[in-house]
Amino acid sequence: MTFLRENSPVKTKDMLIGALLRVPAEAIHRRIINDLNAAGFTELSLPHMALFRFPGPDGVRPGVLAERAGMSKQAMNRLLGSLEDLGYLIRSDAPDEGRARIVRFTKRGHAAYAKAMEVLRNIEREWRAELGPRDFAQLKELLFRVWESPLVR
């Protein structure tokens, strides 16, 4: 982001919470895709990230994944189809319910997900080094309180 950095100095008060959250969140997003691509998972792009994040899709039903990602079941189904073609996962019938299906990572899918988590841990290490362990923990704690609160529903 080459915002105003070249010009006058910017202070905390100038920035609103929207930009303060958005800019680092997007930076992390790009970083994960880049590192994933560099690690050999070259087909993965931005929309696939809806699946390769925190509670992974493994063992979950398509409809739940759609709701998590905030998209329609049809869109999620396409995503799953493309990732199935790419060999990252398979959809099999659920054992308990006839109409339901279950998403399962393949070996490659597990590897990609593990890599994404590794990148995230690397990012955390870098941030911890930059801010100091105490302040980084504080940042996560504050964000967690936001996450728990009704603010983000």
Partner DNA sequence: CACTCTGAGTAAACTATGTGTACTATCACT
Partner DNA sequence: AGTGATAGTACACATAGTTTACTCAGAGTG
> Among 47, 60, 68, 90, which residue sits at the site for its own copies (rule: CB under 8 A)?
68
Interacting residues with its own copies between 92 and 151 (CB under 8 A): 117, 120-121, 123-124, 126-127, 130-131, 135, 138-147, 149-151
As separate numbers, helices (DSSP H) first and strands (DSSP E) second, the chain gives 5, 2
One character per residue 28-57, x = contact with its own copies (rule: CB under 8 A): xx--x--------------------xxx--
Number of residues that bind its own copies (CB under 8 A): 53
Which C-beta is closer to DNA: that of 82 or that of 106?
82
Report how far residue 153's alpha carbon sits from residue 142's, in angstroms, rounded to the nearest whole number. Answer: 17
Which C-beta is closer to its own copies: that of 17 or that of 85?
17
The DSSP secondary-structure symbol of 45 reads -
Residues that bind DNA (CB under 7 A): 45-47, 50, 61-64, 71-75, 77-82, 91, 94, 97-101
Query: Which tokens is 15 given?
Result: 């920035």
Angle, in degrees to the nearest 10, between helices 73-85 and 62-69: 110
Burial of 121 (0-12, 13-18, 19+ CB in 10 A): exposed
Q: How far is the CB of 85 from its own copies (least distance, A)?
A: 26
Which of its own copies, DNA, none does residue 134 bind (CB under 5 to 8 Å by kind)? none
> Among 26, 38, 78, 92, which residue sits at the site for its own copies (rule: CB under 8 A)?
26
Report how far residue 67's alpha carbon sits from residue 30's, in angstroms, rounded to the nearest whole number. Answer: 23
Q: How far is the CB of 104 from DNA (least distance, A)?
A: 12
Which C-beta is closer to its own copies: that of 55 or that of 87?
55
Report how far residue 57's alpha carbon sits from residue 88's, in angstroms, rounded to the nearest whole number. Answer: 11
**Cross-strand partners of 65:** none
